[in-house]
């Protein structure tokens, strides 16, 4: 989209005569005055008269501020692009995602993938163990242009193959050039251990990270049973590991990976079972917990500079409806990548509060599930934390108006994406429906609804709605009736967090097994009908 296609910020302004005082000023002076206004007041001014409406719509600087606020971005002054170039790029990206009109499609085949992690144009896959493939290897694709051109050849990183290594895990942070390689050890007559190697992503794991004071972090714990699963989270200098074993249950261990200091060591207690965790910021931690009758989120402070372990306190507890947690498995907190730094040359970046979280629950013993998902926005958490009247908020006082409950249809092949890939910033992707027995095609849901609500407010009777946007704004509340408990009884859950829904209309969608994304790509794995091979379809946006 070129500059001639820039959309005006308002179209229902009052057609009264402009105020004489403004006409008397040079345009440059008027624009300077308007530059001191907040975006909200700026939009109000455009509706007062033709003169101010025209002044704003002919100023790239003011239009850029409006579009940044609407799309949830902040400017990165270090970029070499001019304001007009940034504005045009921002608008092109927004229109492309709202209409799902990609710039380029690329397809190539890979060894069959068991687990993958995708963020910021970097794709790391762990192939399934099969003939001709090493038992433990990572395939690293770290070039967006190469992926988009179809000429991507992975760097193969061979993992440790010691006989005592019973599991291997990984995570990464592109902005910090950090690749974490985790190894699970269980030696005879010894305590289980989880060992983390801190490497640079740019070296494809061959070099230690220069910012880390220790090349390896190690966690030993007093449990005779081996680890069942591990999950890693990164937030700036914080590196967290969520580990579960058959005796101790789930527990969280957090380091400052740069200094090597232990920040937190917490496990399930008699009071509540701990199921997952994530970072709200570099100073706040969110835990997913449950008792026999209650599922809840607990937000805690984290002091990354404290010399004392577990220097943490509860800031907030948010209850969910009583679903009978004993009838569920696979509790998880899902969200997009936590960006601690801005990549060099980036013209704009998502605001730190431009994130959503999904609390995901799966029924026991279901090969094909709709997983129950409660979606909540980071802004909601921030607002609730600012309320100092109470630390424990019941579901009825916060949930119905601040969350959206959906089902997300999941094949077993998609379980690996529960933690990463299907959420990026304020968007999520998946098969979403409001009935447990109803299946709908996969859609893209955008929970940043500011641009869509603004458009409806500016366009009376929807007369000027853009034909380029093929989605639907959903603002009405939905009620889901759910059978829970023994004996089964029905509870009704009403939620109303607004979102914009765009259908993903691709040929042969039934063959596209797993869908993931970052801020510029949609990626689908497809059954290529060849033994031990997968097809990757990459759709690149502006």
pLDDT computed for residue 458 by the predictor: 45
Mean pLDDT of 156-162: 77
pLDDT digits (tens, 9 = 90+) for 169-197: 888 988 899 999 988 876 666 666 788 99
116 in the same domain as 70 = no
β-pair partners for 495: 478
In this structure, the answer to whether residues 68 and 197 fall within a common structural domain is: no
Mean pLDDT is lowest, of 103-117, 511-525, 528-542, for 528-542
Q: Is the pLDDT of residue 334 over 80?
A: yes
In a domain? residue 130: yes
Q: pLDDT tens for residues 60-103? A: 999 999 999 999 898 887 778 899 999 999 999 888 888 888 88
Within a domain: 17: no
Structural domain includes residue 8: no
3-state SS of 183-196? EEECCCCCCCEEEE
Residue 477: the pLDDT is 93
Residue with tokens 């045009």: 88
- Mean pLDDT in residue range 207-218: 94
Q: Which of 134-148, 290-304, 418-432 has the lowest average pLDDT?
A: 134-148
Task: List, for residues 465-512, the tens digit of each pLDDT value.
Answer: 344 557 888 999 988 887 776 667 788 899 999 999 998 887 777 667
Per-residue pLDDT tens for 350-377? Answer: 888 899 999 988 765 554 556 788 999 9
pLDDT for the residue 357: 94
Output the pLDDT for position 415.
53
Within-domain flag for 7: no
- Residue that is last in its domain, among 94, 118, 140: 94
Residues with Cβ within 8 Å of residue 463, at least 6 apart in sequence:
none
Asked if residue 261 lies in contact with residue 237, where contact means CB atoms within 8 angstroms, the answer is no
Residue 246 lies in a domain: yes
Residue 21 falls inside a structural domain: no
* 117 and 75 belong to one structural domain: no
434 vs 87, more confident: 87
Least confident residue range of 17-21, 312-316, 345-349, 462-466: 462-466
- Does residue 161 surpass a pLDDT of 80? no
Q: Rounded distance, CA 298 to CA 314, Å?
A: 7
pLDDT cut 70: percent of the chain above it: 72
Domain end residue (candidates: 65, 94, 123): 94
Q: 130 and 204: one domain?
A: yes
Q: Say what the pLDDT of residue 130 is.
A: 53
Q: Which pLDDT belongs to residue 179?
A: 93
Cα 264 → chain centroid: 24
**Range scoring the smallest mean pLDDT among 23-32, 40-49, 507-516:** 507-516
> How many whole angstroms separate alpha carbon 372 and alpha carbon 408?
7
Place of tokens 């859609």: 443
Position 404 pLDDT exceeds 90:
yes
Q: Residue 248's pLDDT is what? A: 62
Same domain, 162 and 262: yes
Q: What is the mean predicted confidence (pLDDT) over 408-425?
A: 65
Task: Choose among 119, 72, 89: nearest CA to 356.
Answer: 72
Q: What is the pTM of this model?
A: 0.86
| 24-39 pLDDT per residue, tens | 678 888 888 888 998 8
Query: Do residues 53 and 17 make contact, with C-beta atoms less than 8 angstroms apart?
Result: no
Instruction: Indicate if 501 and 427 belong to the same structural domain.
Output: yes
What pLDDT shows up at residue 527?
62
Please indicate, yes or no, whether residues 214 and 242 belong to a single structural domain of this protein. Answer: yes
Average pLDDT over residues 135-159: 69
Across 14-18, 253-257, 298-302, 527-531, least confident range:
14-18
pLDDT at residue 464, as a whole number: 34
Mean residue pLDDT of the chain comes to: 78
Cα 75 from chain centre:
20
Closest by CA position to 6, among listed 45, 53, 60: 60
- Is residue 330 located within the same domain as residue 364? yes
CA angle 58, 64, 66 (to 5 degrees): 95
Q: How far apart are CA 7 and CA 91, in angstroms?
A: 9
Residues 153 and 236 in one domain: yes
Per-residue pLDDT at 320: 92
- Residue 303, in any domain of the structure: yes
Number of structural domains the chain divides into? 2
Q: With respect to residue 18, please indicate whether it lies within any of the assigned structural domains.
A: no
Domain extent for 147:
107-340+351-452+470-540
Does residue 244 surpass a pLDDT of 50? Answer: yes
Mean pLDDT value across residues 423-447: 78
In a shared domain, residues 289 and 147: yes
CA distances from 261 to 39, 233, 239, 251 (A): 43, 16, 11, 18
Q: Over 80: is that where the pLDDT of 440 sits?
A: no
pLDDT at residue 3 in the model: 44
What are the angstrom distances between the C-alpha of 468 and each of 70, 99, 454, 464?
Answer: 18, 6, 16, 11
In this predicted structure, what is the pLDDT of residue 211?
96
249-263: per-residue pLDDT in tens?
Answer: 778 889 999 999 988
If you count DSSP H runs as helices and E runs as strands, how many of each does the chain have, helices first? 10, 34
Cα–Cα–Cα angle for 139, 142, 147, nearest 5°? 90
Taking the mean position of all CA atoms in its chain, how far away is CA 97? 16
Q: Are 322 and 294 in contact (CB under 8 A)?
A: yes
CATH of residue 279: 2.130.10
Q: Are residues 73 and 185 in the same domain?
A: no
- Quickly state the pLDDT bin for 516 (edges 50, 70, 90): confident
In a shared domain, residues 429 and 535: yes
The segment with the largest mean pLDDT, out of 55-59, 296-300, 321-325, 507-511, is: 296-300
């Amino acid at each position: 989209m070129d500059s001639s296609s820039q959309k005006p910020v308002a179209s229902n302004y009052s057609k009264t005569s402009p105020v004489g005082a403004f006409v008397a000023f040079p345009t440059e002076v008027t624009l300077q005055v308007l530059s001191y206004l907040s975006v909200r007041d700026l939009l109000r001014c455009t509706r007062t008269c033709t003169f101010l409406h025209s002044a704003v719509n002919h100023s790239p600087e003011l239009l850029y501020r409006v579009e940044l606020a609407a799309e949830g971005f902040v400017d990165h002054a270090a970029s070499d692009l001019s304001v007009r170039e940034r504005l045009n790029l921002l608008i092109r990206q927004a229109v492309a995602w709202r209409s799902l009109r990609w710039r380029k499609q690329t397809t190539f085949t890979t060894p069959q993938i068991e687990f993958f992690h995708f963020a910021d144009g970097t794709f790391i896959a762990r192939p399934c163990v099969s003939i001709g493939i090493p038992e433990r290897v990572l395939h690293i694709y770290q070039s967006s242009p190469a992926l988009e051109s179809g000429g991507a050849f992975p760097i193969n990183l061979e993992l440790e193959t010691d006989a005592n290594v019973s599991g291997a895990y990984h995570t990464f942070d592109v902005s910090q050039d950090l690749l974490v390689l985790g190894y699970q050890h269980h030696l005879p007559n010894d305590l289980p251990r989880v060992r983390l190697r801190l490497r640079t992503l740019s070296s494809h794991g061959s070099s230690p990270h220069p910012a880390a004071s220790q090349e390896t972090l190690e966690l030993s714990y007093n449990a005779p049973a081996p680890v069942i699963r591990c999950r890693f989270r990164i937030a700036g200098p914080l590196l967290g590991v969520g580990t579960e074993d058959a005796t101790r249950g789930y527990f969280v261990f957090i380091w400052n990976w740069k200094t090597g200091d232990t920040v937190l060591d917490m496990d399930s207690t008699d009071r509540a079972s701990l199921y997952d965790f994530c970072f709200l910021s570099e100073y706040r931690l969110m835990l997913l917990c449950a008792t026999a009758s209650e599922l809840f989120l607990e937000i805690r402070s984290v002091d990354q500079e404290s010399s004392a372990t577990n220097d943490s306190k509860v800031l907030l507890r948010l209850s969910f409806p009583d679903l009978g947690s004993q009838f569920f498995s696979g509790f998880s907190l899902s969200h997009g990548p936590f960006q601690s730094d801005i990549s060099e040359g980036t013209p704009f970046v998502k605001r730190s509060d431009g994130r959503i979280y999904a609390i995901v629950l799966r029924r026991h013993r279901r090969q094909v599930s709709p997983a129950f998902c409660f979606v909540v926005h980071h802004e909601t958490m921030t607002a609730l934390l600012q309320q100092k009247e109470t630390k424990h908020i019941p579901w009825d006082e916060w949930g119905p108006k601040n969350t959206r409950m959906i089902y997300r249809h999941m094949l077993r092949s998609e379980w690996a994406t529960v933690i990463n890939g299907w959420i990026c910033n304020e968007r999520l992707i998946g098969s979403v429906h409001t009935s447990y027995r109803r299946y709908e095609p996969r859609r893209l849901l955008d929970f940043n609804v500011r641009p869509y609500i603004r458009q409806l407010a500016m366009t009376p009777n929807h007369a000027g709605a853009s034909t380029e946007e093929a989605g639907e704004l959903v603002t009405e509340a939905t009620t889901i009736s759910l059978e829970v408990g023994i004996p089964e009884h029905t509870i009704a859950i009403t939620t109303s967090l607004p979102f914009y829904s765009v259908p993903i209309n691709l040929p042969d969608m039934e063959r596209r097994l797993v869908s993931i994304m970052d801020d510029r790509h949609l990626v689908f794995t497809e059954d290529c009908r060849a033994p031990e091979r997968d097809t990757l379809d990459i759709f690149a946006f502006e």
